[in-house]
Amino acid sequence: MSANNQTYNHSQALSKASAEAPTATRADGNRATLASAMRVLRPDLAAMHAYVVQDAAGMVKLDAMENPYRLSDTLQAALGARLANVAVNRYPGQRVDALKQALTQYVDLPSDMGLVLGNGSDELISLLALACDRPHATVLAPEPGFVMYAVSANLQGLTYVGVPLLPDFSLDVDAMLAAIDQHQPAIIYLANPNNPTANAWDVDAMRQIIAAAPGLVVVDEAYQPFADTTWLDEIRRDAAANQHVLLMRTLSKFGLAGVRVGYMVGAAALISQIDKLRPPYNISVLNAECALFALEHADVFAGQASAIRADRTQLQASLAAFPRCEVYPSQANMILMRVPDATKTFQALKAAGVLVKNVSTMHVLLRNCLRITVGTPDENAQLLTALKAAL
């Protein structure tokens, strides 16, 4: 008997039993309760933790790697007027296609590569896990790193393997190559610059890992606006060695954290397959129009990124002057700093109205570390005043 026939006959039996049962009993049996609703959820949810966003009301917000600069009043008004004319009664269509074309031009994408949009890079990470959901598939990444690589892998039922960085937060190439050989990962993530350590990887180390990869390598360039290099140049230089590499970026660090738009580029054949998994209307017309507006004023955002890089250099020097503290190199809009007592310092800064990220419990290598977003000069000055009192 086929499975379908078994189901059909079982349903017939249930229907017959229900018909013979008293009406009240049948009604009670069909009535869902909170307990019965909870039982249909996957059992591992109970052990998971939701992504927590800190309450930043009234605080100097230096915890989430956001661009601290708003648009000028003139550009804000121009954007508002433009959004007022968006047809929000219609599903996204041509304007999303226009955004893809604009991003293709913005990154000067080679003709044999494709581009897919995501509702932030988080959605793209989820789509990749879905695309590679085969028996015994593994996702591999250096740690400490971006938490969503592991979260998305685990939610999709893939095995996640984290490979510790060296004490100076550089890639442990030997350990990475050994893990690749052992686990044969479907996906390797290389966040460059890395989060939360803010450093960029050695180019030769990345080349070795990419050459050894049996599947996809995703170079996550979320913080590229603040870095000196991009792996896209390497892809152009040696396309054959990088044909299995996907380059992922987000407009969040560009200056549009509130406009959830991420994008990923790679070989057209790969991108076309991943695009099949994308929800048909994952980018709203409002988000697309905001992103188009920003790309039309890319020089404004480039100027903001330049100012942040300059302020980062000054802030690093000031932070390094604090006794018994260690400041690590940064190619992002954040700085990792090790203090004598991260929890005590974090709480003292928060009490002073300055919110940073306490990453000291994320990984053993991050013991007593705080991650500090580079803010405006005034915000950085407030941070330094509060930190001096805290230390």
d(CA 231, CA 209): 14
Q: What tens-digit pLDDT sequence spans the chain (391 residues)?
A: 334 444 334 444 444 444 444 444 455 567 788 888 888 888 888 877 777 777 778 889 999 999 999 999 999 999 999 999 999 988 888 899 999 999 999 999 999 999 999 999 999 999 999 999 999 999 999 999 999 999 999 999 999 999 999 999 999 999 999 999 999 999 999 999 999 999 999 999 999 999 999 999 999 999 999 999 999 999 999 999 999 999 999 988 888 888 899 999 999 999 999 999 999 999 999 999 999 999 999 999 999 999 999 999 999 999 999 999 999 999 999 999 999 999 999 999 999 999 999 999 999 999 999 999 999 999 999 999 999 999 9
d(CA 219, CA 264): 10
pLDDT score of 34: 85
Query: Radius of gyration over alpha carbons of the chain, in Å?
Result: 24
Q: Is 28 exposed, middle or buried (0-12, 13-18, 19+ CB in 10 A)?
A: exposed
Contacts of residues 45-53 at CB distance under 8 Å and 24 or more positions apart, as own/partner, are 51/147, 51/151
Q: What 8-state DSSP symbol labels residue 264?
A: E
Q: Which residues have C-beta within 8 Å of that of residue 330, sequence separation ≥ 6? A: 193, 198, 199, 312, 316, 336
pLDDT score of 178: 98
- Cβ atoms of 185 and 162 within 8 Å: the answer is no
Sketch the domain layout of the chain as residue ranges.
60-69+299-390, 88-297
Distances (CA, A) of 9 to 30, 257, 313: 20, 53, 72
In this structure, are strands 369-373 and 357-358 parallel, antiparallel, or unpaired?
Answer: antiparallel
Please choose, from the candidates 172, 236, 165, 167, the residue with its C-alpha nearest in 3D space to the C-alpha of residue 208.
172
Distances (CA, A) of 367 to 141, 167, 354: 20, 11, 21
Q: Under DSSP, is residue 188 helix (H, G, I), strand (E, B) or coil?
A: strand
Torsion sign (Cα): 173, 174, 179, 180: positive
pLDDT score of 333: 96
Q: Which residues have C-beta within 8 Å of that of residue 223, sequence separation ≥ 6? A: 65, 193, 195, 198, 253, 331, 332, 333, 334
39-67 pLDDT, tens digit each: 888 888 887 777 777 777 888 999 999 99
| φ, ψ for residue 360, nearest 5 deg | -65, -20
d(CA 264, CA 114): 8
Element (H, E) at 78: helix 73-84
Q: What 8-state DSSP symbol labels residue 321?
A: T
Torsion angle, alpha carbons of 377, 380, 382, 387, to 10: -160
pLDDT score of 29: 61
Please choose, from the candidates 125, 342, 112, 119, the residue with its C-alpha nearest in 3D space to the C-alpha of residue 242.
112
d(CA 256, CA 225): 12
Q: Under DSSP, is residue 279 helix (H, G, I), strand (E, B) or coil?
A: coil
pLDDT score of 21: 44
pLDDT score of 48: 76
Q: Is 349 exposed, middle or buried (0-12, 13-18, 19+ CB in 10 A)?
A: buried
Whole-prediction pTM? 0.88
Domain at 60-69+299-390, CATH from 3.90.78.10, 3.40.50.150, 3.10.20.30, 3.90.1150.10 = 3.90.1150.10
Distances (CA, A) of 81 to 57, 102, 354: 28, 21, 34
- Cβ atoms of 95 and 87 within 8 Å: the answer is no
CATH placement of domain 88-297? 3.40.640.10
Length of the chain: 391
150-162 pLDDT, tens digit each: 999 999 999 999 9
pLDDT score of 326: 97
Residue for token digits 């913005």? 106
Q: Is 362 exposed, middle or buried (0-12, 13-18, 19+ CB in 10 A)?
A: middle
